[in-house]
Structure 1
Amino acid sequence: MQASRIIASSLALSIATLAGASRPVVIGSCPPPECIPQTADDQIIQQTCRVEVVFVLDTTGSMGGLIEGAKQKIWSIATTIAQAQPSPEIRMGLIGYRDRGDDYITRRTALTEDLDAIYSDLMTFEARGGGDAPESVNQALFEAIERFDWTEGDDTLRIVYLVGDAPPKMEYQDDVKYQASCKLAREKGILINTIQCGSMSATRQFWQEIAQNAGGAYAAIPQDGGVRQIATPYDDQINQLSTELNNLMIDYGDRRTRTAQTVKRAQAAEIADAAPTEANADRAAYLGTASGKVTLYGEQELVVDVTDGKVKVEEIPEDHLPESLRGKSKEEIKTIIAENKAKRDAINARMAELVEQRRAFLREASDSTDDGFDAQVRASIRAQAARIGLLIPEND
């Protein structure tokens, strides 16, 4: 796996300047550890990098191919981001948009680290409505900039992907026009990348202008999204191990927390049942990354929290334990946790091997001329991540 080019000269210069400081230095962007100067007098405080992405998807009748492609590829896109060094926190959000007079104008899913929530909402999107070419692009774009809780700071990469085949409807008098939204995006440090499905010339002009005005990139893809899903000999084994891992979770906490975790486990099971085999394997690969831990474990998971030292078994009230552990001694609970962790470690080790073999298979089978939705997202986000010092491998 080849790494992308290391750091722009300006970043290298800024870090070199920091090397002379004798006070603690907070690094706003996130250079690779080997590029951070270390001296006896320097105390380097590495801030966590974040990548926040909101997909703004046209969900009108002509967009069925793209929507299905997004359902298939959202996990592999997240995995690509998660391969960055240093490992970032990842939050994604979602807007589906149509036009006035349709079932809805926009539907939003808030920015979250729990990508199961994003995927569950994405699975409900269907291509319907529309009819006349222009759509409510203006409203969707404004909401993407103003209705999400974007993280501030130079260590966060904030990106909107506007994906559609029709231009904005400009005659609505009470709309915030795209020019104003682009200005707001620049002020907030949000990049807007535009991906045009199909070849409508009017759309191309708007999409190029939006990307240019908001510091993003423009790309054109086939009307159907151009997504290729490749089955591998490893998918079924990976998915079986993922199911086994999910069944080992031990949730604890107060009633609200346990209820939320129960809902999350049910959501994960529904995804496993509904998603294509290849998408499930992509999901398992993402959950195996450092960035995927929130999606995998949720709010409170006993084995992880005890292992990480976040909680001691002796400190957990009896009524915060799951039913299966109530009435057991503290030593019995510790033994159960240790045995559970050993099973997880074995599963994770085997899954890591299979995921790497699958990745190599996909690299070999991939077409270098791929111009689909997911390929364009990877290309742009790889280049833009370098702005905050994140290095994403080229062929992943």
Structure 2
Amino acid sequence: MKTIYVWSLLCLLIVPVSCNANNNNSNLAFKPEKSQEIYTTKTDPDTRNIQVALLLDTSNSMDGLIDQAKAQLWEIVNELSYAKCGHYNIKLQIALYEYGNDRLPSQEGYIRQVLPFSNDLDEISKELFALTTNGGNEYCGKVINTSINQLDWKKSNDHLKLIFIAGNEPFTQGPIDYKDAATDAKEKDITVNTIFCGNYKQGMQTKWKDGANLTNGEYSAIDHNRETIHIATPYDDIILQLNRRLNNTYIYYGNEGSKKIGLQAEQDRNARSYSAANAVSRTISKSSGFYKNKSWDLVDAAEDKDFELEEVEKEELPQELKNKSKTELKQYVAKKSNERKEIQKKIQELNKKRMVYIQNNSKKDDTNLEAALIKAIKTQGERKSFSWKK
């Protein structure tokens, strides 16, 4: 038995690091500023993560950038939802920082962690919509360095770890040299991508391209003031009707459940504030594997093999479910789960037709935030054996 154990241990030690290798590292996430909760992220050997840290300049001239981030979030999520990496499950985590706003603490370098790495898409949307702009000092090297040190980056190089920094002031400003920050990023297998809001040559002259080159990242220049065009399609009304049915399959539980289901409805309204077509994009995201809410929804929670539905206290349930027996509750959750899968399948089928319509009725735009993010993520993902097949 000892011989078998030694050989098993040796085999584990010599497994090569690649898209096909298992990773058993576990990390403790950075403590969020608002909730003061500590999130522990257990590494799943059957999962590959796409970790994206968005560092957004929120100084006075960046209203257009923030507007694009709000308007294009769901299309970005939808495009990433098509990611594949062998037989692995793909998990998307997004972190958000703002910098260059003089409302932020000067001792912190006018930088704020808005959200640590999260797969809660409603929470990400909420925080984006809460961002406002104001004048300040934009320290690119400092915010990159801060995100590297604070965030719960995966240790294994199997995962796709990306920083996107967007702004329009010289990349050289601030107390930390961007070259030092880039060196630190490269040592941790984190790729820095820079998005200059303005003229391409001006971004090169102010070292934004150099900031990306140091980690083999992508440099892009965008028109941050261009309004996002959402293409309406003949399938939108049906998809929005399905969204209402989809929302009715959520069963909240726990202390935060009722608040979270309210947040879901609020982000539906935020998406629709741009257009019905943008609300459709959010609905597509809600039908994807990235939209999971097991911390407050019984249907998603019940999919976890470690979750025990029988252990949920009646006080944690909605009023209309408190008098159900354990068996009745289990049957109800199963019914809602089947309904959700059926609705999500219909949404995905309609989305295929919707995408063909959009491709045939729109012009390609490579000068916005969405295009810059997607291009870089796909390019760098391919280096790690990720692919995008719809």
TM over 0.5: yes
Counterpart in the other structure of 2:381:
385
Q: How does 1:59-138 map to 2 (within 5 A)?
A: 59-86=58-85, 87-99=89-101, 101-102=102-103, 105-108=110-113, 109-130=115-136, 135-138=138-141
1:166 has 2:165 as partner = no
Q: How big is the shift at 1:72?
A: 0.9
Call closer, same or farther: CA 1:309–1:147 in 2, change over 3 Å. closer
Counterpart in the other structure of 1:189:
189
CA distance, structure 1, for counterparts of residue 336 and residue 365 of structure 2: 45
Q: How does 1:8-47 map to 2 (within 5 A)?
A: 28-30=17-19, 47=46
CA distance, structure 1, for counterparts of residue 371 and residue 231 of structure 2: 14
Q: What whole-Å deviation, never above 9, does each CA across 1:291-333 have from its counterpart, x for those lacking one?
A: 222xxx2414323444565445545444444432223233332
Question: Helix, strand or coil for the counterpart of 2:204?
Answer: helix
Q: How big is the shift at 1:56?
A: 1.0
Q: How big is the shift at 1:251?
A: 2.6
Q: What whole-Å deviation, never above 9, does each CA across 1:311-370 have from its counterpart, x for those lacking one?
A: 455454444444322232333323323432343233223212222222222222232353
Q: How big is the shift at 1:226?
A: 6.6
C-alpha contact (below 8 Å) 2:200/2:221 kept by paired residues: no
Question: Helix, strand or coil for the counterpart of 1:259?
Answer: coil
CA distance, structure 2, for counterparts of residue 142 and residue 250 of structure 1: 41
CA distance, structure 2, for counterparts of residue 176 and residue 291 of structure 1: 35
Call closer, same or farther: CA 1:135–1:208 in 2, change over 3 Å. same
Call closer, same or farther: CA 1:177–1:274 in 2, change over 3 Å. same
C-alpha contact (below 8 Å) 1:52/1:157 kept by paired residues: yes
Counterpart in the other structure of 1:19:
none
C-alpha contact (below 8 Å) 1:385/1:392 kept by paired residues: no
CA distance, structure 1, for counterparts of residue 62 and residue 323 of structure 2: 55
Counterpart in the other structure of 2:211:
210
Q: How does 1:131-146 map to 2 (within 5 A)?
A: 135-146=138-149
1:148 to 151, 165, 168: 151
CA distance, structure 1, for counterparts of residue 172 and residue 260 of structure 2: 39
Q: How big is the shift at 1:202?
A: 5.0
Call closer, same or farther: CA 1:126–1:332 in 2, change over 3 Å. same
Structure 2 unmatched ranges of 5 or more:
1-9, 22-43
Counterpart in the other structure of 2:179:
179
Counterpart in the other structure of 1:246:
247
CA distance, structure 2, for counterparts of residue 200 and residue 330 of structure 1: 62
User: Scaled by the length of structure 1, what TM-score is found?
Assistant: 0.78
User: Scaled by the length of structure 2, what TM-score is found?
Assistant: 0.80
Call closer, same or farther: CA 1:270–1:369 in 2, change over 3 Å. closer
CA distance, structure 1, for counterparts of residue 199 and residue 49 of structure 2: 34
C-alpha contact (below 8 Å) 2:268/2:282 kept by paired residues: no
CA distance, structure 2, for counterparts of residue 312 and residue 58 of structure 1: 44
Q: How big is the shift at 1:233?
A: 2.8
Higher relative contact order (CA 8 A, sep 6+): 1
CA distance, structure 2, for counterparts of residue 157 and residue 224 of structure 1: 29
Call closer, same or farther: CA 1:247–1:192 in 2, change over 3 Å. same
Call closer, same or farther: CA 1:146–1:357 in 2, change over 3 Å. same
Call closer, same or farther: CA 1:311–1:220 in 2, change over 3 Å. closer
Of 261-270 and 178-187, more deviation after overlay is shown by 261-270
Counterpart in the other structure of 1:55:
54
2:262 to 246, 253, 266: 266
Count how many residue pairs are aligned between Structure 1 and Structure 2: 346
CA distance, structure 2, for counterparts of residue 355 and residue 374 of structure 1: 19
Structure 1 unmatched ranges of 5 or more:
1-21, 33-44, 253-257
* C-alpha RMSD over aligned residues: 2.8
**AA at the equivalent of 1:272:** D
Call closer, same or farther: CA 1:362–1:29 in 2, change over 3 Å. farther
Call closer, same or farther: CA 1:226–1:382 in 2, change over 3 Å. farther
Call closer, same or farther: CA 1:27–1:391 in 2, change over 3 Å. farther
C-alpha contact (below 8 Å) 2:243/2:283 kept by paired residues: yes
C-alpha contact (below 8 Å) 1:197/1:221 kept by paired residues: yes
C-alpha contact (below 8 Å) 1:27/1:47 kept by paired residues: no
The percent identity for this pair of structures is 29
**AA at the equivalent of 1:215:** N
**AA at the equivalent of 2:120:** D
Call closer, same or farther: CA 1:274–1:354 in 2, change over 3 Å. same
Question: Helix, strand or coil for the counterpart of 2:97?
Answer: strand
CA distance, structure 2, for counterparts of residue 46 and residue 331 of structure 1: 33
C-alpha contact (below 8 Å) 1:30/1:46 kept by paired residues: no
Counterpart in the other structure of 1:367:
363
CA distance, structure 2, for counterparts of residue 169 and residue 210 of structure 1: 9
Call closer, same or farther: CA 1:226–1:159 in 2, change over 3 Å. farther
